[in-house]
Chains A and B, each alone.
Chain A
Amino acid sequence: GQQVMQIPQYQHVQEGEDFTTYCNSSTTLSNIQWYKQRPGGHPVFLIQLVKSGEVKKQKRLTFQFGEAKKNSSLHITATQTTDVGTYFCAPNFGNEKLTFGTGTRLTIIP
């Protein structure tokens, strides 16, 4: 079936350290979106990647889409306490459904 694996499930980092979460699919994706959910909140859209090899940046966040359009990553440089939350990838397999990865929960040690 069409599934995606998101790793790691949890990540604890010291404030100021970098953080990366990965999303891996066994099949080629049409596109992939990334969302952030703060504790107690709802998922909020961050970005969409469409093109093979695409790299997009939002301040300290860097999003990449693999050349084969099967893998994606979100990298945060120099984490801050405001980065706390769970980061989800949402792969689009080209059908009408939009499913989500299991998420990576980021906690920051001040």
Chain B
Amino acid sequence: IAGITQAPTSQILAAGRRMTLRCTQDMRHNAMYWYRQDLGLGLRLIHYSNTAGTTGKGEVPDGYSVSRANTDDFPLTLASAVPSQTSVYFCASRDRASTDTQYFGPGTRLTVL
């Protein structure tokens, strides 16, 4: 069982380019989340999805979009990257059926130049 995987591990991107960060979980959790982590600011919620077919906005959604076509995948897209989107991005899924625990992926380190 892999848990949650994210790809790529890291990426350097030119400003203005489009980028999709991939997230896949094999635990059949209904809820999934995207966070960005910046020094001194902790983890900030970008978008979330309570179940396949639904999505919602978090604290910092501007410049990002998500989709949830199925239970396992929750990609995050930057339509036109800007330097302020340089960050470490974590995907997470939540076991709301039992322990309510969130499980995090290993993260994607994104640098926008």
A residues neighboring B (CB under 8 Å): 6, 9, 31, 33, 35, 41-45, 48, 88, 90, 96-103
Number of A-B contacts (CB under 8 A): 58
Cβ contact within 8 Å between A31 and B104: no
Cβ contact within 8 Å between A97 and B94: no
A61 to chain B, nearest CB (A): 16
Known: A43-B90, A88-B43. A48 touches B58 (CB 8 A): no
Closest to A6 in B: B42
A9 to B94, CA, bound (A): 26
Query: Contacts of B104 on A, CB cut-off 8 Å?
Result: 42-44
Q: How many residues of B contact A (CB 8 A)?
A: 26
Which of B35, B105, B107 interacts with A100 by CB under 8 Å? B35
Which of A44, A90, A99 interacts with B59 by CB under 8 Å? A99
A3 to chain B, nearest CB (A): 10
Cβ contact within 8 Å between B103 and A45: yes
A103 to B90, CA, bound (A): 15
A97 to B57, CA, bound (A): 9
Closest to B101 in A: A45
Interface centre among A35, A42, A96 (most CB of B within 10 A): A42
New A-B pairs, 9, CB < 8 Å, besides A43-B92, A98-B102, A99-B43 = A6-B42, A33-B100, A42-B106, A88-B42, A96-B50, A97-B58, A97-B59, A100-B45, A102-B41
